[in-house]
Amino acid sequence: MKKIFFLILSILLVSNTAFADPIEVSYNDGIYHIVLKGEKIKKRIKFVSSESLITNKEAHQRAKAKLTINAGYFDPENQKSMSYIVTDRVTMEDPQFNESILYNPVLRKNMDKILNRTEFRVLECDRGKYHYEIVPHKSSVDFGCALITSAQGGPLVYPQLRLEEEFFVVKKDGEIIRESCSVLHKTARTIIGLKGDEAHILIITDKHPMDLYEVHDYVKNLGWDRAMAFDGGSSTSMNYLNKYNITSIGDGAGRSLKSFMIVR
């Protein structure tokens, strides 16, 4: 009888492990912390862009996704991306074709910095083994690997803050004369990072706004290895199943966006 009991217990434990949810969502003091666990989930991640601007909730519903968050930067006027987006090995968005960059003399002068902003990658290597990277856009892909999907955002937040290197801050004689994307101000944030072999996401809501120096210290205390920012402020959005519909300041419907990270 004891053997039968322990056999049933073992089967239950194995079953629970096999069907354990690879997406873990926790909430504390205005911050949602999402952990993407295991190897299989890496194949279920895809960065996508929309031809026209849509809300995070709309993207979530269209993709029939389990998790959807906002991703890269965009120009709300011409509805074009200011970040590289790769979907299923194909570059779907290229900021070099965005007139708001090309025709702006200040942005055009700093094109190299903008085009080389940090991105989150999912790569396939070694016969179907997937892994994550957070690197500058122009970083080469390792031999034997293929870039499956990626989204550029920036700046790199941890282990270093690359504010000037990625043209989010400009200084003259030690004084800040230009700031982009409210990187020095407290606001809502979408942050993605790596800890070991896991991907971690922070949805920092209006209830606990942070500047990027505070985010740097926060992820350091969490023990992350690397972290970067996606678009934030009013773009900060997250949908998880039918359980969470998180948007930033506004009417509650959420801002219309260009690109998204979906997990199916």
* Tens of pLDDT, residues 11-32: 444 444 445 789 999 999 999 9
Res 249: pLDDT: 76
Query: Is 12 part of any domain?
Result: no
Contact 24, 195 (CB under 8 A): no
What phi, psi does 107 have (nearest 5°)? Answer: -65, -40
Q: With pLDDT > 70 as the criterion, what percentage of the chain qualifies?
A: 91
CA–CA dist 72, 123 (Å, integer): 18
> So what's the pLDDT on residue 126?
84
Per-residue pLDDT at 14: 41
pLDDT tens digits, residue range 107-133? 999 999 999 999 999 999 987 899 999
Model pLDDT, residue 15: 41
| Residue 5 belongs to a domain | no
pLDDT value of residue 19: 56
Q: What is the pLDDT of residues 165-224, one digit of tens each?
A: 999 999 999 899 999 999 999 999 999 999 999 999 999 999 999 999 999 999 999 999
Average pLDDT over residues 64-89: 97
Q: Is 15 among the domain residues?
A: no
According to the model, what pLDDT value does residue 8 have?
Answer: 45
Range of the domain at 105: 22-263
Residue 189 within a domain: yes
What's the predicted TM-score (pTM) here? 0.91
Residue 1 lies in a domain: no
The pLDDT score that the predictor gives to residue 17 is 41
Task: Domain count for the chain, please give it.
Answer: 1
* Mean predicted lDDT score pLDDT of the chain: 92
In terms of C-beta density within 10 A (0-12 exposed, 13-18 middle, 19 or more buried), how is residue 99 classed?
exposed
Q: Is residue 7 part of a domain?
A: no
Q: Let me know: does 237 contact 213? Beta carbons within 8 Å.
A: no
- For residue 102, tell me if it sits in a domain: yes
Q: Around Cβ 28, how many Cβ atoms within 10 Å?
A: 8
Q: Strand (E) positions, 153-236?
A: 156-158, 169-172, 175-179, 189-195, 198-204, 226-229
Instruction: Report d(CA 228, CA 179) in Å as an integer.
Output: 17
- Kindly state whether residue 6 falls inside one of the protein's structural domains: no
What mean pLDDT comes out for the span 122-148?
Answer: 95
Coil, strand or helix at 158: strand
β-pair type (129-136, 118-125): antiparallel
Average pLDDT over residues 38-58: 97
Residues 147-167: what's their mean pLDDT?
98
Q: pLDDT at position 10, please? A: 46
**What pLDDT, on a 0 to 100 scale, did the predictor assign at position 21?**
81
Quickly count: other Cβ atoms within 10 Å of residue 136's Cβ: 17
Question: pLDDT tens digits for 233-253?
Answer: 999 999 999 999 999 875 556
CB 250 within 8 A of CB 62: no
